[in-house]
Amino acid sequence: MTTATKYINGLPEKTFETLARESALQIKVNGRAYSITMCSPSNNVELAVGLLYTEGILRKTSDIISITEESDKQNKQVLSVNVNVHTEALEGKNLWNRSIASSASCGVCGKTEIYDIYHKSQSLETREKLDITRAPELLQEMRSHQSTFDETGGTHSAAVFKMDGTMQSVQEDIGRHNAVDKTIGELFLSSTLAKADILAVSGRVSYEIVSKCAMANIPFLLAVSAPSSMAVEVCNEKGITLIAFCRENRATVYTNQQRVISSRSLQSAGLYEAKA
């Protein structure tokens, strides 16, 4: 909480504002510094594990020996998360190609090689189809869980759903990519990531969000705001159905249109009967 001066119609008024908390979290692998990320100080283990998974360091839960947190004893704030990983799981992986620091707004900041950004992975395949009329509903379901945003207006959110609309995870953070890592980390630790079908995000979609979606093998990506040109390009390449501007009764499909259906269009053609 902080004091501020709010102006309405040019007239000043003293106000008390709730701020979204931001702190630095150091992520370590086997005791060695891997990255420092600016984030909301919550669900730090999920964030660390999700980051290591989406960057290809972890592939299965059995790779992990243990996870420990180091906290500041004075204010009990977590300073670092150390993930102990079996050495054989790290063979052939260049862990130390980051320049350590990563901002809250960029999931690829700290990368030192262009290969890290354009890494290759298989194109995703699925026979599932998404009813486009449900896209805004799923985003609204995610929005209903953004309690920190309601208080501060300063956080992003990410949520993961099954095709039937069941929410598997929802997380908030000051960084879009951190929120995504937290959801993926949570599902990875519970061994339920393979059941994830839809990733929803509260802001715009740029490369780093698509990259994490691809690494988690999630075929549908929904967003409230616009995608970048590279996001569309990589979604096409990776086989991800990208749907943005999911608001109220609107949604725009940018890639892999063949996976999208419209129950209302089918109903008007007499080809679809809504379930009771």
pLDDT at 265: 60
* For residue 274, pLDDT beyond 80: no
Asked if residue 201 lies in contact with residue 216, where contact means CB atoms within 8 angstroms, the answer is no
> Pick the catalytic residue: 39, 106, 213, 246?
106
Q: What is the pLDDT of residue 97?
A: 67
Q: Determine the Cα angle at 98 with ends 35 and 47, to 5°.
A: 35
Quote the pLDDT of residue 95. 80
Model pLDDT, residue 94: 77
Residue 106 a catalytic site member: yes
Q: Average pLDDT for residues 24-38, to the nearest whole number?
A: 93
Q: Which CATH superfamily is domain 130-267 in?
A: Cytidine Deaminase, domain 2 (3.40.140.10)
Tens-place pLDDT, residues 101-160: 565 556 655 554 544 545 555 788 899 999 999 999 999 999 999 999 999 999 999 999
pTM of the model: 0.87
Give domain limits for the chain. Answer: 23-117, 130-267
Name the band, by pLDDT with cuts 50, 70 and 90, for residue 272. very low
Q: What is the pLDDT of residue 98?
A: 65
Pick the CATH number of 23-117 from 3.40.190.10, 3.10.200.10, 3.10.20.10, 3.40.50.1980: 3.10.20.10
Confidence of residue 1 (pLDDT cuts 50, 70, 90): confident
Mean of all residue pLDDT scores within the chain: 88
For residue 166, give Cα distances in angstroms to 74, 172, 198, 248: 40, 18, 10, 20
Residue 96's pLDDT band, with cuts at 50, 70 and 90, is confident
* Residue-wise DSSP of 203-251: S-B-HHHHHHHHHTT--EEEESSPBPHHHHHHHHHHT-EEEEEEETTEE
Q: How confident is the model at residue 237 (pLDDT cuts 50, 70, 90)?
A: very high
Name the phi and psi angles at 215, rounded to 5: -65, -30
Q: Which of residues 6 and 263 earns the better pLDDT score?
A: 6
Lowest-pLDDT range of 9-23, 148-162, 180-194, 261-275: 261-275
What does the pLDDT read at residue 275? 35
Instruction: List Cβ neighbours of 183 (8 Å cut-off, separation of 6 or more).
Output: 46, 50, 158, 159, 160, 168, 169, 170, 171, 199
The dihedral built from the CA positions of residue 166, 169, 171 and 175, taken in this order, carries a sign that is negative
- Once rounded to an integer, what is the mean pLDDT over residues 236-262? 94
